[in-house]
Amino acid sequence: MRLKSLAKKLFHLGLKKEAASIIKLSQKEVFAHISGPSGSGKTTLMEEIRALNPDVVEKDLDELDEEATEEMGLDKNWKQTSWSEDTQKEHYAIKQSLLDDFIEKNAGSKIVLAGLHSEGGDQLIFNAKHKILLNTDPAESLKRRIKRDKEAGGWNFWDDKKSLRSELKESERIVHDLKLAGYTPMSPEEILSLF
């Protein structure tokens, strides 16, 4: 049931406060959230969507991570060097506020979010009309990530077989968790057909 329809039913049942809460949530609705493990092709797909649909307003959720890190005055590698549970909670609260502001600023536009919205038990809250898992095999995602990281001089996890297996398991876990959360696996072509 769509949120606005639910709010209308609640209002007619005399549950005005509950209806108002549902309306507030529905105002945070985005057209689509495209997710998947690192290397699944989210950024490339977003570039295609942007090129084909100039009316789409998009946001890579990784950008929120960078913006929150900057707002808190943290080093970009703070999760490896100075992570604490309290810092993580504050960081996520700022990310949520930034996301809320972005959605409110672009209300009425076709908003598409890309990227993972949860980490370490914290989750960004928003309502997506289309919850999409970019259907890329986790092993293929990992291969792409290794290639990208090598080209950028990034983390050398591929040099250690134990770390490599761990990264593959993490990609598989992300896919599993997104499916459990109701994300629909779709190919890039299927996703593009939504626009």
Alpha carbons 179 and 172: distance in angstroms, whole number: 11
User: H/E element holding 113?
Assistant: strand 110-114
Give residue-wise pLDDT tens across range 53-108. 989 999 999 899 899 999 998 887 776 677 788 888 898 899 999 999 999 999 88
Mean pLDDT value across residues 164-187: 91
Give residue-wise pLDDT tens across range 6-34. 667 766 778 777 766 666 555 568 999 99
Alpha carbons 42 and 48: distance in angstroms, whole number: 10
The pTM of this model reads 0.78
- With pLDDT > 90 as the criterion, what percentage of the chain qualifies? 42
The single-letter code of the amino acid at 106 is N
Domains of the chain listed by start with CATH number: 3-193 (3.40.50)
pLDDT of residue 1: 45
The CA-based dihedral angle spanning residues 13, 17, 21, 26, taken in that order and rounded to the nearest 10 degrees: 40
Orientation angle between helical segments 161-180 and 138-152, nearest 10 degrees: 130
